[in-house]
Amino acid sequence: MNDIKVVLLSLLTGMITGIIFTILKFPLPAPPTIQAFMGIFGVWFGAFIIRKFEGCK
């Protein structure tokens, strides 16, 4: 349950940041395309997989 809270707070923080940056006409501090986002996700997911397999040894 605690993990869900952290995920929702992270999402809310990201949304607020996006709103503020857009209103102030700052460049968004995030990848501008889905391809860039998926690249970042891939890096995270690769590290996640390795950590899971290390725990299985």
Give the total number of structural domains in the chain.
Answer: 1
Interior CA angle at 5 toward 2 and 40, to 5°? Answer: 105
Contact between 31 and 40 (Cβ < 8 Å): yes
Q: What is the pLDDT of residue 20?
A: 92
By residue range, what is the domain housing residue 39? 2-55
Q: What is the pLDDT of residue 29?
A: 74
Q: What is the pLDDT of residue 57?
A: 59
Q: Quick: pLDDT tens for 2-33.
A: 788 888 888 899 889 889 999 999 988 777 78
Q: What is the pLDDT of residue 35?
A: 85
Mean predicted confidence (pLDDT) in 22-48: 86
Mean predicted confidence (pLDDT) in 33-39: 85
